[in-house]
Amino acid sequence: MTVDPIYVVTLRVPAALVDNYEAALESLGGALAMGLPDDQDRVRLQLYLGAQPSDLEISTLLALAAKSAGSDEPAFTCDLMPELDWVAESQAALPPLQAGRFYIYGSHVMDPPPAASIPLRIDANVAFGTGRHETTRGCLLAMGDLAKHFAPSKVLDLGCGSGILALAAACLWPGARIIGSDLDAPSVRQALVNARINRLAYRLEAVESIGYAAARLRQRGPYSLILANILAKPLCDIATQTAQHLAPGGRAVLSGLLIRQEREVLARHRAVGLVLARRYRLGDWSALVLRKP
């Protein structure tokens, strides 16, 4: 299977200015993909377009964003993507993965899951989260350990992406009510698709929301477990709200942060009454388990 020509505009910007450049590129349309911060706290942005924009058009938009943010204009590239079967390419690059009790696999995997594992079928798609990144794996390991002594009644997967953490929670805690949210509408839809694929549609509700803004999230709380695999800055920005939406005795699993960002994230959450229960470090990445007394 081949697809129509796709052009990709690639640039790297400071993590703190992602919103500025995302807004600047909106007028071009297309689909924007955002990576995680690198060791210089810069984020890769990739804009996928069905028609080739002019270099002048891109440069003008970036210059305006840079001026308003008081920063230097970022360099960019605009390339024609090679004509490939992207589904086959993505699947070939994603072998099955064991993360604690969880066995994450794609639809191309024919082998049966290992005995006593919890299988979840998650294909590469429009939503972030296939279980391969250290941040997601850290969350899955933390959830598996929590399940040994903790049984939440209400679970929120904030920034659910593909829904992998929400679905993992549904498997670990059959009695829990689970809701996922994401600011990206296609991710919300994909989370629900993945729930149906894994025969968990009756367990998962998913809504579009920026942080805790959706009324439905407030109605369903407070939560005994909040899962938030996003980025360090938004984790800090919503620390007060996380504490407010977490029930006494509840836990919050936070990830999407580098080890060097732990101190800032912990300080913001300790300031609102949460305490560190455990941390998981995989490579350069960290997942924190916090408790509300």
Phi-psi region of 68 (alpha: psi -120 to 50; beta: other; left: phi over 0): alpha
Q: Where in the chain does DSSP place strands (E)? A: 7-14, 31-34, 42-49, 76-80, 97-99, 102-105, 118-121, 154-158, 177-182, 204-208, 223-229, 246-258, 275-282, 285-291
Phi-psi region of 49 (alpha: psi -120 to 50; beta: other; left: phi over 0): beta
pTM: 0.68
Q: How many CB atoms lie within 10 A of CB 86?
A: 15
pLDDT at 124: 60
- Maximum C-alpha span of the chain: 58
pLDDT at 50: 81
pLDDT at 83: 57
Tokens of 68: 């308003």
CA distance 125 to 122: 9
pLDDT tens track, the chain, 293 positions: 444 567 889 999 999 998 899 888 888 887 777 777 888 888 898 888 888 889 999 999 999 999 999 999 999 999 887 655 544 545 554 567 788 888 888 777 777 777 888 888 887 654 444 445 788 889 999 999 999 999 999 999 999 988 999 999 999 999 999 999 998 888 888 889 889 999 999 999 999 999 999 999 999 999 999 999 998 999 999 999 999 999 999 999 999 999 999 999 999 999 999 999 999 999 889 999 999 99
pLDDT at 164: 92
**Pairing between strand 246-258 and 285-291?**
antiparallel
pLDDT at 250: 97
3-state secondary structure of 225: strand
